[in-house]
Amino acid sequence: MKKLLIFILTISTMGSFAQKKDSLISAFGTNLKLYKNINTNTFEVHKNDEKVIFKNLKIAVRLNGFLQVLDEKNNMFYINEEGTKVEEANLEIEVCGTVPNYTYEIIKRGNTYIVTELVGYDGEENIAAKEIGSISAVRIDKINFPNGTKKVMFDANESMFYATEIFLNAVLLSKGKKQGVLYNNTVRYFDAVTHANGVLKVQENTKVGYYNITEVTYKDVAPFANGLAKFTTTNNKTGYIDANGNEYFD
């Protein structure tokens, strides 16, 4: 009898685990919760812990006051804090008062360009900048930050306005017909580099991609709309990529 009881309890426990298929990601808005369905690898939005108001979502990106999602048909839209589907997200972002300030400069010393970084807070004095990168002047024809100068300044609040990794302090290079990116003291050259909203679009031959986000394999990539960007492959398949380079095909 004891062995039978243990067996029944074991089966019961296994069954209870098997039934648990939803993993809570976060709570937001007015009694809304975002879950991930472990079995289907999709997302669901629940209201009042019971009612499922959106399901089979391929992706759900948390923005301030909104979710940016793709449904099972690859339609992109937003869900506001009341659980209502909307086509546009009017993001109002509250910034912090005391955050680090960053200053990056490109300085020429002899035949070498040095990239320096200074991190501090308002009111601090006598902070020393440190070297974070360098490149020989003979290797390049032109060098500057994405803002077109040899100095860029921003604070930690700046990144709050983007759902992707941004490269405000990436150094853009040119040598002959090649253009390059110096970032984290590593140089990569491409046929073309363009920048918008802190993200770098790069091209190799006729293929394009986003620097440090995707491979350079696409026929075309549209600008990021918050956490998602439309893409077209070389065989004309379309879809969206997220901030980590994951693909969601139409």
Return the higher-pLDDT residue of 164 and 143.
143
Bridge partners, residue 118, by sequence:
103
For the chain, domain boundaries = 20-86, 101-249
Confidence of residue 14 (pLDDT cuts 50, 70, 90): very low
Q: 87-91, long-range: CB within 8 Å, 24+ apart, which pairs?
A: 89/63, 89/65, 89/226, 91/63, 91/64, 91/65, 91/66, 91/161, 91/226
Asked if 143 and 106 count as a contact pair (C-beta separation under 8 A), the reply is: yes
Q: How do residues 168-194 score in pLDDT, each as one tens digit?
A: 999 999 999 999 999 999 999 999 999
Q: pLDDT, tens digit, for every residue of 78-92?
A: 999 999 999 998 776
pLDDT at 155: 87
Give bridge partners of residue 199 from the DSSP assignment. 196
What pLDDT was estimated at residue 91? 73
The pTM of the full predicted model, rounded to 2 decimals, is: 0.84
Pair of tokens at residue 206 = 């006729």
Cβ contacts of 2-6, under 8 Å, gap ≥ 24: none
Among residues 97, 117, 98, the alpha carbon closest in space to that of 107 is found at 117
pLDDT at position 213 is 96
Exposed/middle/buried for 32, CB within 10 Å: 0-12, 13-18, 19+?
buried
